[in-house]
Structure 1
């Protein structure tokens, strides 16, 4: 039987519980006693070195990222193609929203909840609350382009994001006049029977736990002034609200275009993939210094105003991991880089999400204040987070030659520039991490990696040194 290790209050775990309900999967739900340290015992760390929930066991496959779990369950147990389309272009839209949930929504939630739960901090910095507002704005924009996050049908992207947004709303309530489409989407998703069965109990536990950490007066202070509080504190409705739908505006391309800046590790991973798959690509530099990434024509391609962005015929993708998956599916001639077998693919996917949430999250927590806020001091806890990331990679590489198995995959291509960015900030002890050292040396020597990555890696390091001195 499928086994799911979970904690009801965990939004990612609830997303997987909802998926089991949606796909009618007989599942054994196993509670992980985190207060007693069960998640740090050897038998659990063998399943998941990151010591997090959820973890899925199905026959001989073990997956420890909620998004990779959702993709696996949809591929193996899903009977409706609409929930996770097989067409590469439609699937790319779902994938980029799953990575949006991982790298944007969940990271903003974790930046608040981790200090609350682990460090005992009960004061939320204003910038973290404003980051939630920004995330609401992104979702409102996505929902202005299609009825649901990844198109005109509910997909696993909606399932994944719903539990995260529900947790964010507990902390930072919605201004329904400002975000009407988000409010209507929340109301509709919340009403679905499989959502209620898999999510409701844990959502209440999460809200109770947050309120136990924060005074009610403080919660009220953090809500926008023009939004009244409710007892439930979550999904208020507007009478007769309807969600309108319209087709995404699509840009027609004669050649694959990749919008990038060389210094960006995510952009470089896509440049490497184009070299690997021999894709004729037009590389388009985005001038961040002049604000080109904030102009309407660019925001039309990517509301997050980030790089990279890929345009290919009538598909536009704005997450590097989703781009890699799409390029491998459409242009990759060797299946080994992104296997079609669901179990093997799940191993690659979970490392892609590890890269998105852990490696890139760690790098961004350091680089964003340096580049945007002008801060020139890196907090010690952020440096220790890099060491922790190195430890995770060493553990993965102790289990297989490469990050997701015994062949190089897009997971290695995605992680390599990110780890290079971390090393530019924090060198590692080669004696302590010998497998990481050997892996770096091998990946760096590959001709397609050198061609797509080397120049930008030097630019990133030079830019970093100009900030840190």
Structure 2
């Protein structure tokens, strides 16, 4: 069966799913959905696959799933060589699930709160309260990483894949993560640990950063 990932490289969540696939080692056929320059995600063929018309979307034979925070665990459980990326132990799994939820419920929404209005609503400023909120989330992540090589401990998990895709997006926009030494070192560690990191994540993050910076007023970040 062919595993297909409907993917938009500038999208942090989409890159999180692709990084998970790379970490698992499963071959995926990548189908690009260009959210900047086309309406392919709103066309009937894609809506039949995903009525919510979001990326990333994964098809595995006749099974379809979307949202990077479930795609990574699914790929790990279905194709992983062991349970390192998404543990079976209930307590270890709960830690990874908590971190996946931290990304989708806290960190990424605060990044989106800053960047979505710039990309799609014509905003050219970033509000101070949104900056404070994002710095708070990065501060939480820095604490989570204290004494750990990866977010859930000493082993790379699918939570790292999602979170590093988010953090690399805002770094590419120009956000200063120097105050968060644990986060900065962890990003570098992920880049060395996840196969094909540069092509699967960094290139798309830089596309995202350039798109946001083009529309921002000078010196806004």
State if a TM-score over 0.5 links the two structures: yes
After TM superposition, the structure 1 = structure 2 runs for residues 3-402 of structure 1, keeping only pairs within 5 Å, are 3-34=4-35, 35-144=37-146, 146-171=148-173, 173-176=175-178, 178-192=179-193, 193-215=195-217, 217-219=218-220, 222=221
- Say whether the 8 Å CA contact 2:173–2:208 is kept in structure 1: no
Normalising to structure 1: TM-score of the pair?
0.45
Larger Rg belongs to: 1
Higher relative contact order (CA 8 A, sep 6+): 2
* Counterpart secondary structure, 1:81: coil
Aligned-pair CA distance for 1:199: 1.0
Q: Secondary structure at the match of 1:53?
A: coil
How many aligned residue pairs are there? Answer: 218
- The answer to whether the 8 A contact 1:18-1:198 is kept is yes
Q: Distance in 1 between matches of 2:171 and 2:106?
A: 15
Shift of 1:172: 5.3
TM-score normalised per structure 2: 0.92
Contact 2:172–2:205 (CA under 8 A) maintained in structure 1: no
Q: How far apart are the structure 2 equivalents of 1:183 and 1:161?
A: 12
Aligned partners of 1:93 and 1:150 also within 8 Å: yes
TM superposition shift of 1:48: 2.1
Deviation at 1:196, TM superposition (A): 2.2
Structure 1 CA distance for aligned equivalents of residues 177 and 118 of structure 2? 24
Distance of 1:49 and 1:212 partners within structure 2: 32
> Aligned partners of 1:116 and 1:40: how far apart in 2?
22
RMSD: 1.6
Secondary structure in 2 matching 1:187 = helix
Please give the secondary structure, in 2, of the residue aligned with 1:218: coil
Give unmatched runs, 5+ long, in structure 2. none
Distance in 2, matches of 1:26 and 1:175, equals 33
State the alpha-carbon separation in 2 of the partners of residues 194 and 82 from structure 1: 19
What CA deviation, in whole Å up to 9, does each residue of 1:90-146 have, x standing for no partner?
111001000000001111111122211221111111111111110111011101153
**Deviations 1:398-428 (CA, angstroms, capped at 9, x unpaired):** xxxxxxxxxxxxxxxxxxxxxxxxxxxxxxx
SS at match of 2:153: coil
The secondary structure found in structure 2 opposite 1:191 is helix
Between the aligned partners of 2:168 and 2:177, the Cα distance in structure 1 is: 14
SS where residue 38 of structure 2 aligns?
A: coil
Q: Give the Å deviation of 1:84.
A: 1.0
Query: Which stretches of structure 1, 4 residues or longer, exceed 4 Å deviation after superposition?
Result: none
Q: How many Å separate the matches in 1 of 2:142 and 2:83?
A: 26
User: SS in structure 1 opposite 2:162?
Assistant: helix
Contact 1:132 1:168 in 2 (8 A): no
1:129–1:172 CA contact under 8 A, matched in 2: no
- Greater mean alpha carbon deviation, residues 138-147 or residues 73-82: 138-147
State the Cα deviation string for residues 424-468 of structure 1 (Å, max 9, x = none): xxxxxxxxxxxxxxxxxxxxxxxxxxxxxxxxxxxxxxxxxxxxx
CA contact (8 A) 1:6 1:30 kept: yes
Give per-residue Cα distances to partners, 1:267-290, cap 9 Å, x unaligned: xxxxxxxxxxxxxxxxxxxxxxxx
Structure 1 unaligned blocks of 5 or more: 223-469
